């Protein structure tokens, strides 16, 4: 049994994707930050620094930051990635600071990337969509020219 052929993407859906992409700050994006100053932040330098995703410190009902009872360090929330730890069979959530890649061995606190496939996808997805939409436009032009050369759109 053969796989079903995908239908052509309707022009309305392509327009919807273009509009959604236009609302997102332009790539290139990168991960920056410091381990002790808020964890990784996904930013773009296009039109000035714009923060796309950043770690936040949750607070208790009095507004005090939450402290991890085991490490005595502030707890950051809202930026965790699914990743596999060494000698672990199943995935678990790890904080962005744990997965952060330091700028150099002597400056490990200055974050230049996050070593995680989800983080890389978030960083690169707008660029992927831009390239794929350009490819779709090119293929449609080529297809239209081919149909015209074969006389396929003169049937009307």
Assess if residue 1 is contained within a domain.
no
Q: Which residue would you say has higher pLDDT here, 43 or 78?
A: 43
Assess if residue 4 is contained within a domain.
no
Assess if residue 87 is contained within a domain.
yes
Residue 102, pLDDT > 80, answer yes
Model pTM above 0.75: no
* Average pLDDT of the segment spanning 91-102: 70
Q: Which residue would you say has higher pLDDT here, 70 or 124?
A: 124
The terminus-to-terminus CA distance of the chain in angstroms comes to 35
Contacts of 12 (CB under 8 A, 6+ apart): none
| Interatomic CA distance for residues 109 and 5, integer angstroms | 49
Residue 80, pLDDT > 70, answer no
Structure tokens at 150: 């074969």
At residue 79, the pLDDT reads: 59
Burial 79-109 (b: 16+ CB within 10 A, else e): bbbebeeeeeeeeeebbbbbbbeeeeeeeee
Please tell me the total count of domains within the chain: 1
Assess if residue 125 is contained within a domain.
yes
* Average pLDDT of the segment spanning 32-60: 69
Burial 49-73 (b: 16+ CB within 10 A, else e): eeeebbbeeeeeeeeeeeeeeeeee
In this structure, are strands 29-34 and 41-44 parallel, antiparallel, or unpaired?
antiparallel
Which of these, 54, 56, 52, lies nearest to 44 by C-alpha position?
A: 52
Domain span at 50: 11-151
């Amino acid at each position: 049994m053969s796989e079903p052929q995908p239908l052509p993407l309707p022009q309305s859906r392509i327009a919807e994707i273009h509009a959604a992409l236009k609302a997102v700050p332009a790539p290139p994006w990168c991960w920056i930050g410091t381990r002790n100053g808020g964890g990784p932040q996904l930013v773009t330098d296009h039109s000035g620094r714009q923060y796309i995703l950043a770690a936040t410190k949750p607070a208790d009902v009095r507004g005090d930051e939450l402290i991890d009872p085991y490490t005595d360090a502030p707890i950051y929330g809202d930026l965790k990635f699914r990743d596999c730890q060494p000698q672990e069979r199943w995935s678990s959530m790890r904080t962005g600071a744990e997965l952060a890649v330091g700028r150099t061995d002597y400056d490990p606190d200055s974050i230049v990337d996050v070593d995680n496939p989800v983080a890389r996808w978030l960083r690169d997805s707008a660029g992927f969509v831009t390239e794929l939409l350009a490819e779709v436009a090119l293929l449609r032009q080529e297809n239209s020219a081919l149909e015209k050369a074969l006389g396929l759109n003169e049937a009307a």
